[in-house]
Structure 1
Amino acid sequence: MGGWGCPHEADGQCQHVPGKACDPGMKGCVLYGRVRFSVPDKNSPRIQRQIDLEKAEREKKPV
């Protein structure tokens, strides 16, 4: 079984955002705005706009 572990997480707490539980993609997380998450609420506005543009382009193209 594989998995991913954040180097800023220690005992469930984020070391990058003190006082917060580790929640990959939360605002302040090193991943915020850099990667695309499958849960839309975790995506930054810039990433979400990019996803929306790509979706619109796919819908325009005939199959």
Structure 2
Amino acid sequence: MSGSWGCPHEVKGLCAKVKDLPCDPGMKGCVLYGRFTFSKDEKNSPAIKRKLKDKKQGKT
């Protein structure tokens, strides 16, 4: 993973929290999943997707 943020669960590009799969911030099982909104919609949890849909439709 590149950038200024570093995940404490990433070891040599692999996620120690999710069965040593390649680190992909926001993947299911990631500590970020369901807590943040991602620009790629497929990374967003169903709850986040509902919130975004409601916000787009003018519901608060």
Q: Same fold (TM over 0.5)?
A: yes
Identical aligned pairs, as a percentage? 56
TM-score norm. by structure 2 comes to 0.87
**2: CA distance, partners of 1:4 / 1:19:** 19
Structure 1 portions without partners, runs of 5+: 59-63
Alpha-carbon RMSD across the aligned residues, in angstroms, is 1.4
- How many residue pairs match? The answer is 57
Structure 1 residue runs of 4+, over 6 Å off? none
**Displacement, 1:7?**
1.1
Distance 1:42 1:24 in 2: 8
TM-score by length of 1: 0.83
Bigger-Rg structure (1/2): 1
Q: Work out the CA distance in 1 between the residues paired with 2:5 and 2:57.
A: 31
**Runs of 5+ unmatched residues, structure 2:** none
